Amino acid sequence: MGEINIELMQKDSPIGIFDSGVGGLTVVREIMRQIPNEKIIYFGDTARVPYGSKSQETVTRYSEQIVRFLRQFNVKTIVVACNTASAYALDTLEEASDIPIIGVVKPGARVAADVTRNGRIGVIATEATIGSRMYSKYIQSISSNVTIYGKACPLFVPLVEEGLLEDPVTDEIARRYLAELIDIDIDTLILGCTHYPLIRSTVGRIMGDRVTLVNPAYETALELKQLLAGRNMLNDAPPKLGSEQYRFFVSDKAEKFVRFANSIIKYGILSAKAVNIEEY
């Protein structure tokens, strides 16, 4: 992979963003909205998706390969736009990195701790993210007077990928997963998986108006903006006409990715390039 030349990093260097597949595009969408001048290099690990049922060791190895891939593009920062990878691998990635790496768990945890009034916060996420207890750890490190209830929802990702965003089956599954969170009277619910904002209205309807839904994508984009502003590394102007502002890479099924991506992001995504991530 060779040496990384830090001195080449400029305000107009791109931001690297990765996810296990398409879910991270909900984070990309927020970043495009909040800091529209930035260049983005996105990698979706579609050959090994999903991460949410895999082990910490495996998810960390995959994440390290992807960071090596992204650094080829002289990125000025990396966003881990996947809750599972943020929960399992962020500390390891940060330790080994000389550029800032931010995940989606901390920003989501921070806002949840801030908005709760009764101190009862729910987290819905993959098996892996819930098992890691990372949301609990972060929230309790900020605010000791809260209780966090985690609930793994393994069918949500396949239901979203099957396109059943508004469907009686998704309703029924959501009612089952959310029942215990309603029973214990949470007032704040973190959508702890990047796919879940896509079924936000179903979750919101079932939880009712009294529960605030927290979408870490929004908070992550905000944190990224503040981080870059603090280092005077925000891009001052839009990229030159003709230069590629957004580039998408995947480890498999580039065409399917492009179709899904265009259903999430307004900006027209023309293509994604397939790479063999195991070589990194």
Q: How far is 188 from 115, CA to CA, in rounded Å?
A: 7
Rounded to whole angstroms, the Cα distance separating 98 from 116 reads 35
End-to-end CA distance of the chain: 7
Cis (ω within 30 of 0) for the bond into 50?
A: yes
81, 82, 128, 173: the active-site residue? 82
Whether the Cβ atoms of residue 194 and residue 45 lie closer than 8 Å to each other = no
Residue 112 CB, shortest distance to its own copies, in Å, is 26
Q: Pick the binder of its own copies from 227, 252, 265, 275 (CB under 8 A).
A: 252
Task: Give the footprint of its own copies on residues 172-211 (CB under 8 A).
Answer: 172-173
- Annotation says 193 is catalytic: yes
Residue 269's nearest CA partner among 252, 253, 249 is 249
Residue 198 near residue 26 (C-beta atoms within 8 A): yes
**Count of residues in contact with its own copies, rule CB under 8 A:** 26
53 touching its own copies, by CB under 8 A: yes
Among 54, 71, 76, 195, binds its own copies (CB under 8 A): 54
Q: In what order do the strands lie in the sheet with 212-214?
A: 147-152, 120-125, 188-191, 212-214
Selected range binding its own copies among 11-19, 31-39, 149-157, 194-202, rule: CB under 8 A: 149-157
Question: Which residues inside 150-169 make contact with its own copies, applying CB under 8 A?
Answer: 154-155, 157-159, 161-162, 168-169
Closest CB to its own copies among residues 83, 215: 83
Q: What angle do CA 217, 48, 246 make, to 5 degrees?
A: 45
Which runs of consecutive H residues, i.e. helices, occur in the chain?
25-34, 56-71, 83-95, 105-115, 127-132, 134-142, 156-161, 168-183, 200-207, 216-230, 254-264
Among 10, 55, 201, 263, binds its own copies (CB under 8 A): 55
The answer to the question of residue 119 lying near its own copies (CB under 8 A) is no
Q: Residue 57 or 244: which CB sits closer to its own copies?
A: 57
Identify which of residues 77 and 170 has a Cβ nearer to its own copies in the complex: 170
Phi-psi region of 253 (alpha: psi -120 to 50; beta: other; left: phi over 0): left
Measured from the CB atom, the residue of 54 and 106 that comes closer to its own copies is 54
Measured distance CA(50)–CA(82) in Å, rounded: 10
Interface with its own copies (CB under 8 A), residue from 60, 253, 258, 264? 253
133 binds its own copies (CB under 8 A): no
61-100 residues in contact with its own copies (CB under 8 A) are 61
Candidates 41-49, 138-146, 193-201, 223-231; binding stretch for its own copies (CB under 8 A):
41-49
Give min distance, CB of 274 to its own copies, in A. 8
153 annotated active-site: no
47 touches its own copies by CB under 8 A: yes
Q: Of 120, 200, 192, whose CA–CA distance to 160 is shortest? A: 200
Q: Which residues pair with 101 in a beta bridge?
A: 78
Binding interface with its own copies (CB under 8 A): 46-49, 53-55, 57-58, 61, 154-155, 157-159, 161-162, 168-169, 172-173, 251-253, 276, 278
Active site residues: 82, 193
